[in-house]
Structure formats: structure tokens, C-alpha cells
């Protein structure tokens, strides 16, 4: 099959899964190139004909009898939403949980990120069908090792249900997911609470570095950008270590946060920490 992506002009990545067809205009691009463009352009307009698109079709195999997956661009890849998502923790949560939607007749797949590393590159190969969360298998495995329970990698980080193979094997699946989804608000509130609690620790530690508490003997000054970056990095790390639970008696969050903050600071080139 020969295909040249109009965006990167590359013709050697001919893997059928990498190609997406915009609807309604039927123009084809590499999925990644197109998504980068949507993010860049803040709209969902086709680069070739400028028709606003709502659906991206992705084929998983050359077999024409198999229906392509319909990616709802407006839901899953509203470029603006992705931008906000970078900044808003709440949005962050919602998108994870929106990751996989199973409609009544046709599966609706929404492109999104791995719940653990946040990356959307490489293939998201595991999904939890109960709460609709996507993962990289590699991330699940390394997380399980990190928390000292390697055998737990097959559990969803959010709801502990077993994760399934993503993409190919979920055809025919769909029953039983709707009532599960009703429970999601509670789950989300719980997660948000966990995140807030953990972030409090991180902020407290970071503030000591950020503000001159003792004017005569100032500690190093961090600029604001670094403050937020480190806050994000460290908090995410802590969510992961504690498996998205707030485990106060088991984990000394202040100590862990201090360690991680120091590490991040050194990475950014601050000395004397």
C-alpha cells in the first residue's frame, strides 16, 4: 500500500493503524501528524480542504469487512480541551475516565493518554473496560514493580478490575459497562480528594524553597515556572507510588516529597539543595 502523508510527506510508515481518514471529507493523514496539527491550529479543520471534521476513521487491519473505528474528534480531541487539560487537574481526571466509551451499537473510541505516564505516543495497549481507562502495558508493569507488587500489574490503577487487551479484542464487549459508569462520579471525587491531599504535602515542601521564610538567611529561590513544574512532577510521582490512594500511615508524604523535590531541583540545575 502506498500512502504519503500530506503533512510530514513521509511515505515509509505504511502501517495501516497509523493512518486516519477524516470525515466527512475523506482526506487521509498520519494520525499523529493530524493530531499535532489539530492541537496547533486549535480547530478541527482539514489541512487540505478546510472542511471542519468531526470523525476520524482508523482501520486496524486491511480486512475491508471489518468496520473502522470511529474516533469522535469533538469529544476526545477537542484541541482546546487538551490545552486546558495540561493546566487543570480536574480536566485531567475527567479525560482519563472518558477514555473509552462503549456506545449501544457502535464502539466509540476516544483517543487519549496513558493513565500512568500521560503519554499518547506508542501504542496504548491495555484498557480497563469497567472505568474506561487506558494504559501502556509497560507503564502498568513498571508501576507494579515500583509499588512492590509485580503481580498486580494486570489490575486497573483506578478501579482494580483486570485490564484487557486494548484495540483488537474488545469487539463484542459492551454489556455491563453502563451501570459501572454510573459509579464514576464517586470514584472521581475520591480520586480528586486523594490528589488534593497529596498535593498539599508537595506544596508545603515546595513553599519552603520558594519563599524566603527567613529573610536573613534566605534559602534558594525558585522561579514560578519551575515551582509549578516541580509541583506537577512530584505530585504525579507520589500518586503513582501510593497507587492513587492516600496512604498516610504507610507513606511519609512529607519526607517523600522532600526527597523528590530535591531531586527535581537538582535536575533543573539548582545547587545547594
Cα–Cα distance between 133 and 121 in angstroms, integer?
16
In the bound complex, what is the minimum distance in angstroms from residue 43's beta carbon to another protein?
10
In the bound complex, what is the minimum distance in angstroms from residue 28's beta carbon to another protein?
11
* Residue that the C-alpha cell 493513565 belongs to: 115
Cα–Cα distance between 143 and 23 in angstroms, integer?
38
The three three-digit cell numbers of residue 192, written as one number: 480528586
Binder among 10, 17, 90, 223 for another protein (CB under 8 A): 10
Binder among 32, 47, 59, 108 for another protein (CB under 8 A): 47
For residue 186, count CB atoms less than 10 angstroms from its CB and return exposed for 0-12, middle for 13-18, buried for 19 or more.
Answer: exposed
Cα–Cα distance between 229 and 231 in angstroms, integer?
5
Cα–Cα distance between 92 and 237 in angstroms, integer?
15
- Tell whether residue 9 is a contact of another protein (CB under 8 A): yes
The span of 45-53, 85-93, 205-213, 244-252 binding another protein (CB under 8 A) equals: 45-53
With contacts defined by CB under 8 A, how many residues of the chain interact with another protein? Answer: 12
Binder among 28, 36, 94, 203 for another protein (CB under 8 A): 36
- Tell whether residue 55 is a contact of another protein (CB under 8 A): no
- Tell whether residue 33 is a contact of another protein (CB under 8 A): yes
Binder among 3, 16, 28, 37 for another protein (CB under 8 A): 37
The span of 4-12, 171-179, 212-220, 237-245 binding another protein (CB under 8 A) equals: 4-12
- Tell whether residue 83 is a contact of another protein (CB under 8 A): no
Binder among 16, 48, 57, 188 for another protein (CB under 8 A): 48
Q: Which of 165, 128, 164 is nearest to 244 (CA)?
A: 128
Cα 93 to its chain centre, rounded Å, is 9
In the bound complex, what is the minimum distance in angstroms from residue 40's beta carbon to another protein?
4
- Tell whether residue 249 is a contact of another protein (CB under 8 A): no
Cα–Cα distance between 182 and 204 in angstroms, integer?
35
Q: Which residues bind another protein (CB under 8 A)?
A: 6-10, 33, 36-37, 40, 47-48, 50
Amino acid at each position: 500500500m502506498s500512502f504519503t502523508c500530506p503533512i510530514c510527506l513521509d511515505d515509509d510508515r505504511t502501517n495501516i493503524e497509523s493512518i486516519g481518514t477524516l470525515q466527512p471529507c475523506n482526506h487521509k493523514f498520519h494520525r499523529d501528524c493530524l493530531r499535532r496539527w489539530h492541537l496547533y491550529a486549535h480547530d478541527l479543520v482539514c489541512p487540505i480542504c478546510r472542511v471542519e471534521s468531526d470523525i476520524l476513521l482508523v482501520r486496524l487491519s486491511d480486512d475491508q469487512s471489518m468496520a473502522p473505528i470511529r474516533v469522535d474528534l469533538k469529544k476526545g480531541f477537542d484541541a482546546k480541551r487538551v490545552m486546558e487539560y495540561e493546566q487543570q487537574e480536574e480536566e485531567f481526571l475527567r479525560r482519563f475516565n472518558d477514555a473509552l466509551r462503549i456506545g449501544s451499537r457502535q464502539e466509540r473510541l476516544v483517543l487519549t493518554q496513558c493513565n500512568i505516564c500521560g503519554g499518547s505516543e506508542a501504542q496504548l495497549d491495555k484498557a480497563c473496560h469497567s472505568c474506561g481507562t487506558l494504559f501502556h502495558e509497560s507503564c502498568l508493569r513498571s508501576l507494579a514493580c515500583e509499588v512492590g507488587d509485580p503481580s498486580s500489574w494486570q489490575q486497573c490503577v483506578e478501579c482494580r478490575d483486570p485490564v484487557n487487551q486494548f484495540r483488537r479484542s474488545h469487539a463484542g464487549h459492551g454489556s455491563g459497562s453502563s451501570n459501572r459508569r454510573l459509579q464514576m462520579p464517586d470514584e472521581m471525587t475520591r480520586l480528586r480528594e486523594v490528589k488534593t491531599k497529596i498535593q498539599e504535602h508537595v506544596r508545603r515542601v515546595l513553599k519552603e524553597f520558594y519563599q524566603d521564610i527567613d529573610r536573613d538567611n534566605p534559602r534558594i529561590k525558585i522561579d514560578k515556572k519551575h515551582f509549578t513544574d516541580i509541583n506537577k512532577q512530584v505530585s504525579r510521582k507520589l500518586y503513582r507510588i501510593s497507587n492513587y490512594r492516600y496512604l498516610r500511615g504507610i507513606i511519609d508524604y512529607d519526607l517523600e516529597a522532600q526527597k523528590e523535590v530535591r531531586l527535581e531541583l537538582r535536575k533543573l540545575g539548582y545547587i545547594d539543595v
